[in-house]
Each structure stands twice: as structure tokens, then as C-alpha cells.
Structure 1
Amino acid sequence: MNLKKFQSTQGKKWLVFAIIVELNLLLFFVMILLFNSYWLEINYYVSFWLGMQINLILLILLLFIAALLFNLYMIYKFLQSIPETNTIEPSRHQKLALLIIFFLFNLLAIILFYFTSSYIEIVFLKIEFYSLLIFIPTSLLLIFLLYPLIRSFPKVKNHFSMKVCSPKTKSIIILIGIMGLYSFSFLYPILFIPASVIDYELPSKPDIIAHRGGSQLGPENTLEVAEVALDYDIVGWEVDIAISYDGVPFLMHDDTLERTTDVEEVFPEKNSERADSFKWKDLQKLNAGSWFVEFDPFNTVKSGILSKDQLKNYEDAKIPSFEEVLNFTRENDLILDFDTQHPPEDHPYYETYIGILFNMTIELMDDLSKIMIPTSSERWLDLIEENDVEEIWTYADYDNTGDGYTNQEYREFYQQDFPIMVYTINSLERFSQLWCLGVSWVKTDIPHKYVDIEEPLWFMPSESYLIIWIVIYIVGISVAIISGISQQKTKK
């Protein structure tokens, strides 16, 4: 099919629209694939919210694959009709199907990304991680296509119609688009250098802090999962501390007990009440680990990494008190990083909650290596200053960030020797990037997946990276010059 024949084809707008829909679907499909590290986590929380086991991500992927294949078939049929009838004339049902696919799947993607907005940044970080594999082939392909483009462009613009705007205007618009594509592909890798490119010695591997004890390794916020996490070279663990109605601090992340205990069976009339409305003796009646073994939300049990004894311990796990946590931390020479879950104003310990935690920490902190409280709360800071406690770190001593800095900012922190802890990193690619950026600690739900990594998945000295792009630039400029000279000779 030549360009002239395509130009004269009736209904070609439907082919163009079908191609746009296909590219649109493909873009969203790739974005979903890129946050694969968090699929199990998304499925777990959606299943809990719906009250039934569901593999939401698999369902969405199957829908996108079906739409991609159907749309591809439509494109094939449209192309097939051009040489036969010189007309693309989809039926009413085909037109409706294309429109429904376009609007429905864009709406689905918007809803999905709205509810998973915290994961969207992962997509861009993954793209950056693989940028070398993306931009080098793209740049080489563009260099390869440069000569044919220069030779064919004068001929192509002669086929532009007068619709909408003049052929000259159309040719200028297309030329600007081509130049923009080339400029982006060649300048972006230099202006935004990937995290894995370093201009210093490779930093030490970040120390691992088990988030909630390692919440994809076992039942979160329990001593049992922390015990297992010790096998994977953690240097510390992070916990969430609430306080019971009778003043006993205990571990719990959520406002209620529904997700991580059997409260619905033991106290069915109180299952949706706040965790801090329970007395300690009632909290001790709850099982805090059997749900993890039964539902296996992260395929940990299925993977076979847990022994029978460890599984039995999980099944019998109880909600631990803060005192037990401090003792466990000391006995295993760990760093303790804790978040406070402040009770509501009508709670009897609303005013004294911080003081209780601080006093317990002071009383039981002998031989504790370090306690980290990610806070800038004046109440905490005043208590620490009044008691001159060096072992308790706050934001004055380190930064605890949800991966909120740019690559350059991380590099500057590293060069200034300022310690940074980054949470919650469950992607091997991002872990590798943060390693190259020199962060001190990485907080993760999957300590078992980082233990055997001996170096980043890839890293490169900045000199080597620049040499690669200088060579590509030289080749590109040479091809452009040769193409220009050849074009001038052709005109003569």
C-alpha cells in the first residue's frame, strides 16, 4: 500500500483512531506491568476491603489483553480492506466497540491510578532504572532512520492535503515534532542522569530495617515475624505503637483490629471498634498470626521459605506489648524505629500517651543500640532534650523519608555524610538505585529478598556513561552531516 493510495482511502480516520486506541491501551498495560513489585500488596488490601479473595491485578491485565487483541484485529481488518475496496467502513457495532474500549479503559485506568496513586511514582522510577536499555536502542534507531527521513520528507510533504491547514504548515508541524523527538531522546539521558550512574566509589549496601517486622515475611507487628527476619541480616525493625484503654502500649498499625487479628470471632460485637478501646487483657485473647498462614497473601508460605516451627509460631502469635518489643530489641542488638498511633481525645491516656512511651523507653533502653522516632513533635523533642538521651534519634539526627528526594538530593546527603532512611521499598530495582545513591537504611516488607544481593542490579561510573553518549552523539552528528550532503547532491 503506497502513500497516495492511503491518502485517497475513504474512512481512514477510523484506522488512525484504532491505532491511537491501541497505543493508549499499550501504554496503560505497560504502566501496570511496571509496578509488578506491588501487585500482591494491592490484591491483599483490595481483598480485605471487599471481604473476599480476589486477584484484581490479574483480572485487569486479562481485560487489557483482551482489549488489545480485539483492537489489533480491528486494525488488521481495516488495513485489509484498503487494497480491496479503497474504503474503511466499519460497522456501527465496530465503531461503538472502538469508542467504548477507548473511554471505558481510560476511565478504568484513571480509577486504578487514583486508588493506587502511591504506587505511580514506582512506574517512573522503574523507567529510569531501565533508561539505559530504553534510550540507547531508541537513539540508535533514530540515527538509523535519520537518512531515510531526510531523503523521503520532501516527497512525503507533497502528499499533504489542504484540509485544516496548508501542506507547508503541516510539514513544519511534523518537522518540529520530529526534531522534538530527536532532541528529547538525545538530551534527556544527559540532563537526567540515572541513579545507578555514580561519580564516587560504590557506597556500602544499605542496612535493612524490617518494616512492621517484615510484613510480607510474616504477620506484621509481631515478635514472631521479627524472629524470622533476624535470619535475613536485618539491623533493626519498625513497629507501630498504640495504647490500650487501661494504659498498656502495644503493637498495632490500623485503627481497628479487623485486618490482623481474629477479633471478629472472639469479640464479634466489637470487631469494628478502635484497637485502643480494648483493655490489655482482652487484646491478649486475640490471635495475631493465624490469618497470615491461612490466607498467605504474599505467597510466603507457598514459597517454602518458612519452616514448620516458624509456621506454628505464626499460628500462635499474640499482640506484643511495647515492653516485650524493647526487650526483644535489646536481646538481639537491633535498632528500633517506631511510629506512634496516638489515641483519640476521649481516650483516658490521650494526654499522657507520649510520656508513657518515653518513660518506658528510658527505663528499658539499657544496651539498646539506637531508637529512632521519626518525628518533629515538640513534646518528644522537649522530653529528649530534658533527659539528654543520645540513643534516641529524631529528625535532627537523620531523615526518615518516603522516598521523597531527587537523585541529586540523595547524592548530596551521601556526600555530606548525613544518614537517610527510606521507606517502604519493596522493589529490587529501587533498592539498587538507593544503594547507588548512598542511603544508610532501607525500610522494607521483604528483607528476605534483599539478603543475598551482593551488588546493585546494575551500576556504572559516570565517566563510562558519558563516553557511551559522546560516541552516540558523534555517530548521530556524522549521519546528519552525511545525510545533509547527500540531500544537497540529490537536489543538484
Structure 2
Amino acid sequence: MEETQDSSSSKPKNTDENSSLWIEQYFNHKCCITFLTGCYSCQWQYREWEKTELGSCCCSRKEQFFYMCLVIAFILSVLFLFVWVETSNEYNGFDWVVYLGTGCWFFWSILVLSAAGIMVAYTTLLLLLGFLLLWERIELNLHTSHKVFICLVIILCSFLLAVLSHFWKDKWLIAGLSLQIFAPFVHLSLITVMIIISWPLSICVARLESEVKVRRYRMADYEQEIQERCNVFQRLRALQIAAGLSFLIILLCLYLMPLGIYSPCILKKENLGPKPTLFGHRGAPMLAPENTMMSFEKAVEFDVSGLETDIYLSFDSVPFLMHDYDLTRTTNIKEVLPSAAGNHTSNFNWTFLSTLNAGKWFLKHKPFFGMKPLSEADKRRAGNQSIPQLSELLALAKREQKIVIFDLFGPRPGHPLRNTFVRRVVKVILDSKIEQRLIFWLPGFDRDYVRFMAPGFQHVGRLWSIKDLTKHNITIINVDYKRLFYAGLRDYKEAKIYIHVYVINEPWLFSLAWCSSINSVTTDNIELLNQLSRPLFFMTPGFYMFMWLFLDIASAVIIGFAFCYNWIKEIKRERWLEATASSGLLHSETITDITENNDASQQKPEVAPTSANLAPENMIELQKTEPTTENL
């Protein structure tokens, strides 16, 4: 009797526990649905949403159209973000071009990057919300504000991509180069993504199969709707095949992707060339004001092989270091002589140029995003920099045995050295007594005179043909890295041409140059590139082959297990429903409804429905469909 009392007293406790568990699950699900519909449709009040049947349209034609627009906006924003992220090496150049047009120095490149990231995050969130609502089989109803923003994203991304294609075509070249070095890792990452996707997809495919069987079971009670049901079966089968077959095709393409991948950084260790030597671009512009003696001295501290600069000649024939055609950006001429701020650099005498400050701008407006803060001593030193003469740089290079390479800008019409500026620069170099082998002579004007006066100079060509380089007896080229990798790099290496590229700041680009056996690079980011002891993303062919086969086999096993597990799970649930219906507990019309409600409350399909584990609405259905003498 005591045992009977104990068992009877324990039943209410179990019932209470099951009831509280159901309430917790139900209201958690209710809050989740409210959150999804609130974010997607801006409808924050919960109501009983009518669930759409599998195989029927999830929403109206209008909503389908805007969901396709959302997919297009997502693709365009991701494409633009990818291109812009991969062109981070060119951010400083982009900011400089915008400065020339606006006269305002700002990190415009970072602003564009932030906007692209926001657009991708926004469209991704909407896609995810829409997918979750479809998973819950709730009709989509995108809010008007979201529709407007989606259209704006499509217009803005299309405009930006068109601008890139028209004005900066080389940005697409950079994106292509990034695919060369990142392709092996993108391949491995995509297979991992497919493994993650396989689980919800396998549930969806198995659920569609279960839906077909359940509806076939119900057809016996509705003979007059056979034709309509057959159309539903066709749609369900079409969804099942479209989802499963497209997934399988993409997976097979990923499995075979390495057969079409070429990456310079997949090679044997013994075939990896020496690390490219570094040339400081205008010195070390991330550590000091560009084209100042402090900048070149900072570059020397990091043991660069060469120093790159730009040369103008003053009106009184003094070669000095300056990049811009005017003095506005890198000097304080607006404070000293505002009326002449826009004049050409070569129109001033050296007596005036030597009085200008060339370092305060560096402290006010950082030229590079993410620069390290300067020490107080470096701040004081940078604030006192002036425009240096070419002779000062040559003295430093002579003392430290560094190579000097420079762009020489000719004077404007009316300048005293309009036709003889090259000879003036050659004279200054020879007067400095620097070893002639340390001069990489890049200017193409008046080369015959230069060869005659300074036979020891190492003449540097551009992206010329091998025939032209041989004709002019040139064995060194200085080229833009974007053009080089698409213009016969292999031919230059076979001809044993010394290859120097500019301007490389990103580690992945430097790794690409290293794996491609480039001899030297010009860079702004001396400190970071100097720390690299081996190329990033470097892999031997054997290691990549192992990773390829291992991940392919592992993914095939995991994906196969996911599909088999969820398929068997659905079969067990079907058997349970059939057994329950045949025993008279459930009528065939309520099979699907109970299945859905059990899913929402996370019931196990193997357990028969009872008053403790079925939702209240299901209990009402059970009471309505209990076997009676009429039914029997």
C-alpha cells in the first residue's frame, strides 16, 4: 500500500514537471518567433501565425521579388567588400587621390571599408532572419523600410563596382592576385562550410520526404483531392531534388577544385627563393614624415637595402626631395605664404623652400591608418623636419652603403633647367662621391649622356619587352606589381632580369612576391615586412595534397552520416505516427499537425503522445478524435 501511495503521489510531480517544461519550451519558442518577425517585419506583437504547408508558396509574388532583391544585394555587397578588402595595399594611394580632388586629408578608404562591412552585415542578417522564418514555415512579410534599404544597397554597390571598373581597373587585378595565394585556404574553408550546411539541409530533405509519405497516407480520406495532392507531391519532390542535387554538385566541384588551382606559394622548400630585399618608399613614411632625413634614417635603422625618393629642381637649380607637384600637403606653406600654396613645386627658390617645415603635417594628419604612436622624442624630431636636398640623401646613402633609386620630375616650361635638368642631377650625384654602383638610374630621358658621364650607374627599365631591355643593355626593371604578375613574369626570370616591384605593404602581397622569386620591393611598411622570416600561406605540394584528401574523405563521411541520421530519424517518426493512427489514438488528419507541434516543443518521435508530453491543443484534437461507436 505504501508503494502504491508513493507511486500515486509521484505522478502529480511528474505531471507538474512536464507541464512546466512544456510552458518553458512554448514561451521560449514564442519569444523567438516574436523576435524574428519583429526584426524582419517590424511586428513586435505576438500572434498565432498561420504556417504554410510544405510545397506551397511561402509568400506573395511581391515578397518573393524582394527576397530575390535581398539575395542580389547580399551578393553585390559581398563582392564589393571582397574587392575592397583585398585592395588594402592601395588605401594610401586612394586617400591621396581623393585629397587631390577635395583638398581634405581623411581616411576615405577606411570609410568605404566600413560602409561595405555594414552593408554585408545588414543583408546577411536579413537573409538569416528570412531563412529562420522559412524554417518555421511562417509567411514572409518584409517591412517597407527594409525594402528601401535593400534597393539602396543594390544601387550603391552597383555604382561603386562600376566606378572601380572604370577608374581603377587594377583593383580587379589585385583581387585576382589574392585568389592565387588564398585559393587553397578558401577551398579548405568552403568544404568546412559545406559540412556545417549539410546538417540543416539533411533535415530539410528528410522532412520533405516525410511530408510526401504523410500526405499520401491522408489521400485515402480525400479521394476527390487526389489531383491537387499530386501537384503538391511534384512540388515537394522538385524542392527535394533542387536542394539535394545543387548541394551535391557544389560539393563535387569543391572536391575537384584543387585540380584547377595555381598558387605560387605551393612549392617545395628547396625551390623557395631568398627573401626580397626592402627599399624604403620615401624613407619610412609610417615612422616619420615622408621624404625627410628623419624618414630615411629610420629606414636605415631597419637595415633596408635601398632608399626610394622623388626629386624636383628648385628655380635656382637645387635638386630637392618632394613627391607632390605642390607644397600644400607636406609643408606649412599655407601658413607662410597662402597665396602661393597652389604653385608648382619647381617655381620656388631653395632659399624659400629651406625655410618651410616638412614635419608638422605628419603629427596633425596621420598618412596611414593604424600607425603606431610616436615617442615624445620622435614627435619633437618630426616637428622640426625641413625639406632635404638630394645631396643630403646621397651623403647618408654613401655612409651606410645603401642603394638610391628615384623618380626625377622635369621642370615646367620657363624653368632655367627645362632641358638640362638631368645633367644637373648627374653632376650633383658625381660631386657627392658616392659609389656609382649604388645608383639605380630610373629616368629615361637623356640616357646616352648619363652612360657617358657615369658608366657605373645601374640603369633601370620599366615594363619593357625582353628585346628592348637587351637593346638598351638593361638588366633591371622597376615595375608596378599588379602589371608584372599579368605580363610575363616567367619570361623575365628566364632572362635573368633583376625584378624590383612597387609599392608592397601587405604581408600577403610580400609573400606572393617572395614565392615568385622577386628580387626586391619598395614598401612603406618596413617594420612589419622586415619581421617576416618566411612567406605567409606557404605550403608544400605534399602537405596540401594530404589536407585535400583528408578533408574530402572526412567531409564525405560526416555529410553522409548527417543525411543518414536525419533520414532514419524521419522514418522512425513516420512509423510512430502510423502505429499511433492505426491504434485509433490519432486520426489521419491530425498526424501532420501533431508532428509540427511536437517539433516546436522538441518532443522525441519515439515516445507515444500522452497527456504529459503533448501540447494542450493536441490534447483537444485527441479528445475530438477518440474512437466512438460511429467511427468504429
TM range (shorter): 0.7 to 0.9
Out of 413, 419, 422, the position equivalent to 1:354 is: 422
Aligned-partner Cα distance in 1 for 2:279–2:135: 64
Out of 525, 541, 544, the position equivalent to 1:462 is: 541
Out of 339, 353, 376, the position equivalent to 1:269 is: 339
Out of 85, 91, 96, the position equivalent to 2:148 is: 96
Out of 405, 430, 455, the position equivalent to 1:389 is: 455
Aligned-partner Cα distance in 2 for 1:450–1:89: 51
Equivalent residue, structure 2, for 1:402: 480
Aligned-partner Cα distance in 1 for 2:544–2:196: 21
Residue 389 of structure 1 and its aligned partner are, at CA, apart by 0.9
Aligned residue identity for 1:401? V
Q: Deviations over 1:247-267 (max 9, x none)?
A: 111111111111111111112
Aligned-partner Cα distance in 2 for 1:188–1:216: 40
Matches within 5 A, 1:180-259: 181=250, 185-186=254-255, 189-199=258-268, 200-259=270-329
Which blocks of at least 5 consecutive residues in structure 2 are unaligned? 1-50, 213-230, 462-473, 560-632
Residue 5 of structure 1 aligns to a residue whose secondary structure is coil
Aligned-partner Cα distance in 2 for 1:182–1:82: 24
Q: Deviations over 1:301-325 (max 9, x none)?
A: x624x54443333212111112222
Matches within 5 A, 1:394-473: 394-395=460-461, 396-403=474-481, 404-406=483-485, 409-410=488-489, 413-414=492-493, 417-466=496-545, 468-469=547-548
Aligned residue identity for 1:212? R
Equivalent residue, structure 1, for 2:446: 379
Out of 125, 131, 144, the position equivalent to 2:177 is: 125
**Farther-moved stretch of structure 1 (424-433 vs 406-415):** 406-415
Q: CA 1:416 to 1:152, structure 2 compared with 1: closer, same or farther past 3 Å?
A: farther
Aligned-partner Cα distance in 1 for 2:142–2:234: 23
Aligned-partner Cα distance in 1 for 2:99–2:233: 54
Report if the CA contact (8 A) 2:411-2:418 is conserved: yes
Amino-acid identity (%)? 22
Aligned-partner Cα distance in 2 for 1:80–1:145: 14
Residue 75 of structure 2 aligns to a residue whose secondary structure is helix
Count of residue pairs brought into register by the alignment? 471
Out of 342, 360, 363, the position equivalent to 2:431 is: 363
Aligned-partner Cα distance in 1 for 2:311–2:344: 14
Report if the CA contact (8 A) 1:22-1:71 is conserved: yes
Report if the CA contact (8 A) 1:213-1:238 is conserved: yes
Report if the CA contact (8 A) 2:279-2:521 is conserved: yes
Aligned residue identity for 1:394? V
Aligned residue identity for 2:438? K
Residue 56 of structure 1 and its aligned partner are, at CA, apart by 3.2
**Farther-moved stretch of structure 1 (39-48 vs 249-258):** 39-48
Aligned-partner Cα distance in 2 for 1:296–1:91: 42
Equivalent residue, structure 1, for 2:580: none
Residue 336 of structure 1 aligns to a residue whose secondary structure is strand
Aligned-partner Cα distance in 2 for 1:405–1:53: 30
Residue 61 of structure 1 and its aligned partner are, at CA, apart by 4.4
Aligned-partner Cα distance in 1 for 2:502–2:429: 23
Aligned residue identity for 1:211? H
Report if the CA contact (8 A) 1:217-1:445 is conserved: no
What TM-score, normalized by structure 2, do the two folds share? 0.64
Aligned-partner Cα distance in 2 for 1:344–1:216: 31
Aligned-partner Cα distance in 1 for 2:394–2:128: 66
Aligned-partner Cα distance in 2 for 1:50–1:144: 47
CA RMSD of aligned residues (A): 4.2
Q: CA 1:421 to 1:188, structure 2 compared with 1: closer, same or farther past 3 Å?
A: farther
Higher relative contact order (CA 8 A, sep 6+): 1
Aligned-partner Cα distance in 1 for 2:518–2:153: 44
Residue 339 of structure 1 aligns to a residue whose secondary structure is strand
Aligned-partner Cα distance in 2 for 1:144–1:71: 21
Out of 282, 294, 314, the position equivalent to 2:382 is: 314
Q: CA 1:2 to 1:188, structure 2 compared with 1: closer, same or farther past 3 Å?
A: farther
- Computing the radius of gyration over CA atoms, which structure comes out larger, 1 or 2? 2
Aligned-partner Cα distance in 2 for 1:299–1:143: 37
Residue 537 of structure 2 aligns to a residue whose secondary structure is coil
Q: Deviations over 1:434-468 (max 9, x none)?
A: 11221111100121222222222232233443455
Residue 202 of structure 1 and its aligned partner are, at CA, apart by 2.5
Aligned residue identity for 2:516? L
Aligned residue identity for 1:385? R
**Farther-moved stretch of structure 1 (46-55 vs 285-294):** 46-55
Report if the CA contact (8 A) 1:195-1:407 is conserved: no
Report if the CA contact (8 A) 2:503-2:522 is conserved: yes
Aligned-partner Cα distance in 1 for 2:135–2:254: 36
Residue 351 of structure 1 aligns to a residue whose secondary structure is coil
Equivalent residue, structure 2, for 1:328: 396
Q: CA 1:159 to 1:33, structure 2 compared with 1: closer, same or farther past 3 Å?
A: farther
Equivalent residue, structure 1, for 2:190: 138
Aligned-partner Cα distance in 2 for 1:460–1:75: 36
Matches within 5 A, 1:54-65: 54-65=106-117
Aligned-partner Cα distance in 2 for 1:91–1:467: 49
Aligned residue identity for 1:100? L
Equivalent residue, structure 2, for 1:280: 350
Aligned residue identity for 2:108? L
The reply on whether 1:296 has 2:363 as its aligned counterpart is no
Q: CA 1:216 to 1:477, structure 2 compared with 1: closer, same or farther past 3 Å?
A: same
Residue 185 of structure 1 and its aligned partner are, at CA, apart by 3.8
Aligned residue identity for 1:27? L
Out of 252, 257, 260, the position equivalent to 2:330 is: 260
What TM-score, normalized by structure 1, do the two folds share? 0.80
Q: CA 1:291 to 1:141, structure 2 compared with 1: closer, same or farther past 3 Å?
A: closer
Q: CA 1:66 to 1:207, structure 2 compared with 1: closer, same or farther past 3 Å?
A: closer
Report if the CA contact (8 A) 2:164-2:171 is conserved: no
Residue 417 of structure 1 and its aligned partner are, at CA, apart by 4.0
Residue 135 of structure 1 and its aligned partner are, at CA, apart by 0.6
Report if the CA contact (8 A) 1:14-1:88 is conserved: no
Q: Deviations over 1:162-197 (max 9, x none)?
A: 9xxxx8xxx99x979975x56764555444421212
Aligned residue identity for 2:155? F
